Amino acid sequence: MDSLTHLVLGAAIGEAVLGKKIGRKAMLWGAVADTIPDLDVFASPCFTDAQQLMVHRGITHSLLFVIVMAPLLGWLFSKWFKKAEVNWKDWTLLFFFGLLSHTLLDSLTAYGTGWFEPFSAYRVSFNTIFVADPFYTVPFLICVIVALIAKNGSDKRLKWNKAGLIISTLYLAFTIVNKWHVHDEMHDSLVEKNIQTASFVTTPTPLNNFLWMAYSADSLGYWFGYYSVFDKTNNIDYYHVNRNESLLVPYKNDPQVKILKQFSKGHYCMTTNDSNDVYFNDIRFGQMGGWDKPDSAFVFSFKLNNGADNAMALDRSKLKMSYSEAISSLVTRIKGK
């Protein structure tokens, strides 16, 4: 999830665990605890662009990291704040819930999380929520801000913080149930169209949980389709995108390609542009505007040609429309057809 969401969740956890003992400072340290796993981004300069993809959400997002770091940080903070009415156990609980909530929340997105690092590089991803979802974050943020403003130890502070935790948790539960429903609807539509595939994956589109994308692999590539919970029927217009595996032949020994295949879990396709540049596209993140135009650029596009700068590959979608137009078309499609 995005940094703001982790800060908000961490602040709420901090208040719930230590608010009665250290007041507003609990929100600060809770936010810090929930942000710690993302400090792996500072290691980026030590790795290639492709390697950075596996480093992020790797060891610092593992269950082992939570188990080891929570008591260690708890001990350090108990030494630093000896005069506070908080002992080692209290600090350990704060960091345990902060670190664990970060890891669990990130695993709900398509990017995936390295729960089992360093023993396994497998990324856990449930694809139930987009990496930035204002329907989750904004109500939560409002509740936490009101709680922050309220007096220390007041019932108002307690109630608003609890309300934020409850509302956000209920929304996460909704996304799980919604995925279950959408997955069945989209798969049924694929079967009705007699499209033969080997796999089927559903994931939410940007900034919402109402419009979903599905992709399904066959021997040549992938079938893509979009479905809104507000659509009148589940008669989905699936379209096909070729995998273009032959474009990878010149790069078969490239270590970057091996990493990209691992990162994408094998869900990728290859494309070229007018300059004959070759792009590795991780299809899990979809196409910006694909719900409107099947030929839209993929959100994740990694250039394989020598000397390519792929820093922030996830943000280098070459849009054929402005962001405002993309958001407008997204809202229109969410409303259903």
Runs of H (alpha helix) within the chain: 3-22, 25-35, 49-55, 63-80, 88-106, 134-149, 155-192, 255-264, 323-334
Q: Residue 311 pLDDT more than 80?
A: no
- Average pLDDT, integer, range 145-171: 96
Residue 163 carries which DSSP code? H
Model pLDDT, residue 307: 65
Model pLDDT, residue 145: 97
pLDDT band at 312 (very low <50, low <70, confident <90, very high): low
* pLDDT digit string, tens, across residues 256-285: 999 999 999 999 999 998 888 899 999 999
Sequential DSSP letters for 248-274: GGGGTT-HHHHHHHHHHTT-EEEEE-T
**88, 297 in Cβ contact below 8 A?**
no
Query: Is the omega angle on the peptide bond into residue 37 within 30 degrees of 0, that is, cis?
Result: no
Domain boundaries, the chain: 3-175, 193-334
pLDDT band at 315 (very low <50, low <70, confident <90, very high): very low
Percentage of the chain exceeding pLDDT 90: 75
pTM: 0.92
Count the neighbouring beta carbons within 10 Å of the beta carbon of residue 250: 11
Percentage of the chain exceeding pLDDT 70: 95
Count the neighbouring beta carbons within 10 Å of the beta carbon of residue 80: 9
- Give 211's strand partners: 228
